Each structure stands twice: as C-alpha cells, then as structure tokens.
Amino acid sequence: MASNNDVNTAPIARERLASACVCCGSDDLAASPAILMPFVAHRAFGWAPVEIDESWGLKTIQSGMAYSICKTLRCRKCDHLFCDIRFSDAEMNAIYAGYREEVYVALRDHYEPGYAKRNEGLVEVVSYKPAIEAFLDPYLQDPLTILDWGGDTGSNTPYEQRRTVLDIFDISGKDVVPGARVVTLEQATSAKYRLVICGQLLEHTPYPSDVLAAARKAMDAESVLYIEVPFEAIMQADVANRETVKRHWHEHVNFYTPSSMRGLLESGGFEVLDQGVLEISIGGGNARILQVACRLA
C-alpha cells in the first residue's frame, strides 16, 4: 500500500500538563499524587528540594521537606501509565545535555548517592545487539542504511558489520563512533533509511507521537522502524489502580504496556510486524524490554 507521510498522527493536544493519554488520546484517566524526583526537577526547572521551617513565617503551611509534586496518570482505555508533566524542548535539552557525562553524573550522584558507581555499568556497551538483530533480520533488506533516533554515541546501534550508513540524531550532543554521522532533524527527515531505530527513547519523550510523526518522514515502503522501551516491573504485574502505586517520576515519563504501544503505533499510521519481550542484563541486574518492529501502514 502506498505510504502517506501526511497521516494525521496528532489528535493529542501538546499541553504542559497532559489531560489526555499521550498514546491513544483518551481523556478517560485515573490520577494520583506523585513527586518529580529532585534530580529531574533540578535539571529541568532549576528546582531543588527545600526544607520549610518556622523561619519562613508561613501561617498555613506545615514545616517539612518540599519536593516538586506532579500526578501519575493511568489511561483506562490502553493502560498507559505516565507523569502529567510534559517537558518543553528547552527543558528536555536541559535534562539531557551531556547525558551521563561529568556534570550530569555529579548532580545525579548528589541526589542519588551511589549513582556515579552504578553509571559505570550503565555506559557499558549493551550485550544484546545479537538479540536485536535476530528480531529484525526477517524484515530488513540490504543495503542497510540506519538512522538511530536518540542513538547517543552510536555504540549501542546494531549491525556494525552489515550497515552501510549510520546517521545519528540526538540531543545529547556527544561525539559518535567512527563511521557514524551526526545529523540534524532536517537532514534526518529529508533522507530515507531501511532501518530507523528508536531505542530506549519513547519512555523519555513528552509526546511520543511527535517522534513517530517525524520518524515517518525518514521512511518509505521498504523501511522498518524498530522501537525498544523498558517493560517496567510495575507494568508486568497485574496491579489494580497502578496510578496509586507509582509515586515518583524520573527520566522515564512514559510506562508502556504492549497494548499502549500498539495503540500509539496504530494511531500513528504504522503496521506492527512483530512485538516481543526481551530479557536483558543491565547495570548488574536483569530487566525486560518491549521490542516492536513496524512499517508504514
């Protein structure tokens, strides 16, 4: 079927505080109070936690620690779980500039003691590239040109031997691996690639449908889009009223289920080719990720 890059993927309002599901657009949401973790509040807004005491002279406020509050929202239609705060482009840049580099790590270790040591495990090259390749092999054609959207340095991008092009679009501003090229949004969306990768990205993005709408522009009928997001522990369990259990939000502002991911893709004009759950080891522990391969519908 002919692809249509002008598909309307944006019925969802781009709000500071989401009032509808960012995956399926439903406004049937359950809400519960939560906090934005101090490291993220500090990076995004410059808001550090503060202790309120009697010296503040506030007649109606109790003394104690004040953190940045937010809400946990759960979509009753697709089960997506998300933070109501949706960061602006400037705030996203403030959070992710120099991602996991010196300044980032120092501030995060201040708020989350032990992070610097844990980060040494996180920056190791992922060990599951062969599993990604096995998942995607049935759908890919040569010559294999790759756009890695949010690909950081490119060290985690699969198909080191097979790829003929690796372009990376990322807001972290890092140097990339030899043979890769950093591209602007305009460059990325004016070319066509056989494989577009959004790995470990859509859990961070305020409006994932915006990323998918842009990624479409880099695709044609022979292109495959590969998406990978964490399958968070709380989403794997059969938990009633999950919004009342998820009490804090960090960099991952979207927690997906297989159904919320499918809803996001289908409303964005994609046909799901395959969807799976992969067990990986990362930072010394085990984790599960959701994998999806899709093409233009």
Site membership for Zn ion, residue 235 (CB under 5 A): no
Helix pair angle (89-96, 38-45), 10° resolution: 120
Closer Cβ to Zn ion, 195 or 261, answer by number: 261
Count of residues in contact with Zn ion, rule CB under 5 A: 8
Question: Which residues in the 69-128 window bind Zn ion by CB under 5 A?
Answer: 75, 77-78, 80
Closer Cβ to Zn ion, 79 or 170, answer by number: 79
- Interface residue with Zn ion, options 21, 44, 132, 197 (CB under 5 A): 21
Question: Smallest distance from the beta carbon of 240 to Zn ion, in angstroms?
Answer: 17
Site membership for Zn ion, residue 265 (CB under 5 A): no
Closer Cβ to Zn ion, 128 or 255, answer by number: 255
- Of 93, 84, 13, nearest to 254 by C-alpha is 84
Closer Cβ to Zn ion, 21 or 294, answer by number: 21
Question: Smallest distance from the beta carbon of 26 to Zn ion, in angstroms?
Answer: 5
Closer Cβ to Zn ion, 68 or 209, answer by number: 209
Site membership for Zn ion, residue 24 (CB under 5 A): yes
- Interface residue with Zn ion, options 7, 10, 15, 26 (CB under 5 A): 26
- Interface residue with Zn ion, options 18, 23, 144, 264 (CB under 5 A): 23
- Burial profile 169-198: b = 16 or more Cβ within 10 angstroms, e = fewer: bbbbebebbeebebbeeeebbeeebbbbbb
Question: Which residues in the 189-218 window bind Zn ion by CB under 5 A?
Answer: none
Closer Cβ to Zn ion, 71 or 80, answer by number: 80
Question: Smallest distance from the beta carbon of 113 to Zn ion, in angstroms?
Answer: 36
Question: Which residues in the 124-153 window bind Zn ion by CB under 5 A?
Answer: none
Q: Is the preceding peptide bond at 143 cis, omega within 30 degrees of 0?
A: yes
Binding site for Zn ion (CB under 5 A): 21, 23-24, 26, 75, 77-78, 80
